[in-house]
């Protein structure tokens, strides 16, 4: 290319150099990386390596009773993905794998990896079918009322382990984004495996929590709470917030996490706004009664043993998560605002991943 080369030719040459199939290669081979991670997790590679000086292809082959060639490929693949490091000829966990892929660690993420691999990966293999039929591929709506109905218990256990893994990190972000230092008793409506309650109680030492869930899920939550060593601060109560006429009382904060996203486009189920409004009004009434009782029982001129926040007639707080954007659909925050305002709310603020609101003073 010389000074006499026409500008049009220069631009054409630059465009040709800029265009490359590399992005397409990255897209089409993306499953290689995931399946390498999934296979290593299924073979318990990272937990095996934790706390050890590392392994070689030969030693791993012997431990797994496999040939040395696939053992070497697995180790090399994980190292290329940043999951392993090679030190003095031995493969050891990278900090990322040691923190999140070793079973028993507080922020173990393996449940989510397992769920994607065993439950969602086969369904995504039928994506074209789902597009053509507008039907789910991971459960049958003709036989099941939801993906939980009649599901294999082992797969359900995988699902809840995955949700726990994922929710742990969003719970930590929520606890940092929303100040709960004045809260003492949290009600987690539809609280799943109690991941939010565990993490919020870790962040706020004065907080206690109640997980309000269906019986089969409450058992999972109780086990997770016990495992976290927080059984004295987090309790489980069984129920159905769509069907029950009353919610567990005695709390000053309500959390609705990853509930509203189930209804995105189209009309909201008839009983859902009623549930939110009923929740809001019941808690407002309960708080006013409790505040009046505290004032009536307070000895003149004496301080009580109650936390200072209990003397503020500010009403309970309500936080809803999972309403910012769902499957690429914006607009749910506005709908959440309308629903909670229907319950007598005076103020509603939209934050990343959460909508917070407060009952008015009366």
| CATH code, domain carrying 61 | 1.10.10.10
Does residue 93 fall inside a structural domain? yes
Q: Which residues contact 81 (CB under 8 A, 6 or more apart)?
A: 33, 36, 37
Please state, in angstroms and rounded to a whole number, the distance separating the CA atoms of residues 263 and 358. Answer: 23
Whether 354 and 319 have beta carbons less than 8 Å apart is answered as yes
Identify whether residues 86 and 182 lie together within a single domain. no
Task: Indicate whether 237 pLDDT > 80.
Answer: yes
Note the pLDDT of residue 36.
Answer: 97
- In this structure, the answer to whether residues 83 and 222 fall within a common structural domain is no
Q: Which one of 100, 127, 158 terminates a domain?
A: 100
234 shares its domain with 350: yes
Which among 89-93, 280-284, 296-300 has the top mean pLDDT?
A: 89-93
The DSSP bridge partners found for residue 152 are: none
Please answer whether residues 226 and 166 qualify as being in contact, where contact means their C-beta atoms are separated by less than 8 angstroms: no
Task: Please count the other Cβ atoms lying within 10 Å of the Cβ belonging to residue 202.
Answer: 17
Whole-number percent of the chain with pLDDT over 90: 39
**pTM of the complete model:** 0.65
Read off the pLDDT of each residue in 130-146 and give the average, rounded to a whole number: 87
Q: List the CATH number of the domain containing 203.
A: 3.40.50.150
Where in the sequence is the domain holding 29, given as residue range(s)? 22-100
- Parallel/antiparallel/unpaired status of strands 185-189 and 208-213: parallel
Residue 106: per-residue pLDDT: 78
Give CA–CA dist 75/51, Å, rounded.
17
Q: Are 360 and 331 in contact (CB under 8 A)?
A: no
Q: Are residues 215 and 323 in the same domain?
A: yes
Q: Looking at the structure, do residues 90 and 192 belong to the same domain, yes or no?
A: no
Does 128 score more than 60 pLDDT? yes
CA dist 117 and 313 (Å) reads: 50
How far is residue 134's CA from residue 263's CA, in Å, rounded to a whole number?
17
What distance in Å separates the CA atoms of residue 227 and residue 220, rounded to the nearest whole number? 11
Rg (CA), the chain: 26
Checking 31-40 for CB contacts under 8 A at 24+ apart, the result is 33/81, 34/116, 34/117, 34/121, 35/117, 36/74, 36/77, 36/78, 36/81, 37/78, 37/81, 37/83, 37/113, 38/113, 38/114, 38/116, 38/117, 38/121, 39/74, 40/74, 40/77, 40/78, 40/83
Residues 219, 335 share a domain: yes
Domain ends where: 81, 100, 119? 100
Residue 12 has pLDDT above 90, yes or no: no
**Per-residue buried b or exposed e for 205-232, using 16+ beta carbons within 10 Å of the residue's own CB:** eebbbbbbbeeebbebbbebbeebebee
pLDDT tens string 33-80: 999 999 999 999 999 999 999 999 999 999 999 999 999 999 999 999
Q: Is residue 162 part of a domain?
A: no
Residue 43 lies in a domain: yes
Q: Does residue 205 sit in the same domain as residue 315?
A: yes
What is the rounded CA–CA span in Å between residue 222 and residue 245? Answer: 24
Instruction: Let me know if residue 347 belongs to a domain.
Output: yes
Look at residue 139 and tell me if it is in a domain. Answer: no
Question: Are residue 193 and residue 325 in the same domain, yes or no?
Answer: yes
Rounded Cα–Cα distance for residues 280 and 289 (Å)? 14
Of 82, 100, 118, which residue constitutes the final position of a domain? 100
In a domain, 145, yes or no: no
The structural domain count of the chain equals 2
28: confidence class by pLDDT, cuts 50, 70, 90: very high
Establish if 280 belongs to a structural domain. yes
* Count of residues making up the chain: 362
C-alpha distances (whole Å) from 104 to each of 75, 108, 165 are 22, 7, 12
Maximal C-alpha separation, the chain: 97
pLDDT of 361 over the 70 cut: no
| pLDDT classification of 86: cutoffs 50, 70, 90 | very high
**Could you tell me the pLDDT band of residue 292, with boundaries at 50, 70 and 90?**
low
From the list 41, 164, 251, 261, the catalytic residue is 261
Structure tokens at 80: 């290329």
The per-residue pLDDT for 189 is 87
**Residues 233, 354: one domain?**
yes
- Catalytic site includes residue 251: no
Residue 92 sits in the same domain as residue 178 = no
Measured CA to CA, the distance from residue 160 to residue 12 in angstroms comes to 54
Does residue 230 have a pLDDT over 90?
Answer: yes
The strand pair at 253-257 and 185-189 is best described as parallel
**Comparison of pLDDT for 359 and 25, the residue scoring more:** 25
Please, are residues 174 and 196 in contact by the beta-carbon 8 Å criterion?
A: yes
The pLDDT-based confidence of 253 (bands split at 50, 70, 90) is confident
> Do residue 278 and residue 178 come from a single domain?
yes
Binned at pLDDT 50, 70 and 90, residue 242 comes out as confident
- Are 89 and 186 contained in the same domain? no
Confidence of residue 274 (pLDDT cuts 50, 70, 90): low
pLDDT (average), residues 126-131: 95
Residue 31 belongs to some domain of the structure: yes
The two three-digit tokens of residue 186, written as one number: 């949290």
The tokens for 294 are 């505290």
Whole-number Å distance between alpha carbons of 310 and 295: 10
């Amino acid at each position: 290319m010389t000074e006499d080369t026409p500008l049009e030719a220069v631009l054409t040459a630059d465009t040709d150099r800029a265009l490359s199939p590399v992005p397409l290669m990255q897209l089409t081979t993306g499953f290689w990386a995931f399946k390498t991670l999934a296979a290593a997790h299924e073979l318990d590679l990272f937990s095996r390596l934790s706390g050890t000086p590392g392994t070689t292809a030969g030693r791993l082959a012997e431990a797994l009773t496999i040939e040395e060639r696939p053992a070497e490929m697995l180790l090399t693949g994980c190292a290329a993905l940043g999951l392993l490091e090679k030190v003095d000829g031995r493969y050891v966990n990278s900090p990322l794998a040691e923190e999140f892929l070793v079973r028993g660690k507080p922020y173990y993420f393996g449940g989510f990896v397992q769920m994607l691999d065993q439950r969602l990966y086969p369904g995504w293999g039928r994506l074209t079918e789902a597009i053509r039929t507008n039907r789910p591929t991971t459960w049958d709506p003709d036989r099941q009322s939801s993906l939980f109905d009649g599901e294999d218990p082992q797969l359900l256990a995988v699902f809840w382990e995955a949700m726990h893994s994922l929710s742990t990190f969003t719970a930590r972000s929520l606890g940092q984004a929303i100040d709960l230092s004045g809260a003492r008793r949290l009600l987690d409506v539809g609280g799943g495996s109690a991941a939010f309650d565990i993490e919020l109680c870790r962040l706020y030492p004065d907080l206690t929590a109640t997980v309000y869930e269906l019986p089969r899920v409450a058992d999972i939550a109780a086990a997770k709470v016990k495992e976290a060593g927080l059984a004295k601060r987090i309790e489980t109560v069984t129920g159905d917030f769509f069907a029950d006429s009353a919610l567990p009382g005695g709390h000053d904060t309500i959390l609705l996490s990853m509930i509203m996203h189930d209804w995105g486009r189209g009309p909201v189920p008839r009983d859902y706004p009623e549930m939110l409004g009923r929740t809001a009004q019941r808690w407002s009434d309960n708080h006013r009664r409790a505040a009046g009782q505290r004032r009536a029982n307070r000895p003149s001129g004496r301080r009580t043993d109650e936390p200072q926040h209990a003397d503020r007639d500010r009403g309970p707080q309500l936080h809803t998560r999972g309403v910012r954007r769902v499957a690429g659909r914006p607009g749910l925050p506005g709908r959440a605002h309308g629903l909670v305002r229907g319950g007598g709310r005076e103020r509603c603020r939209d934050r990343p991943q959460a909508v917070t609101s407060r009952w008015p003073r009366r």
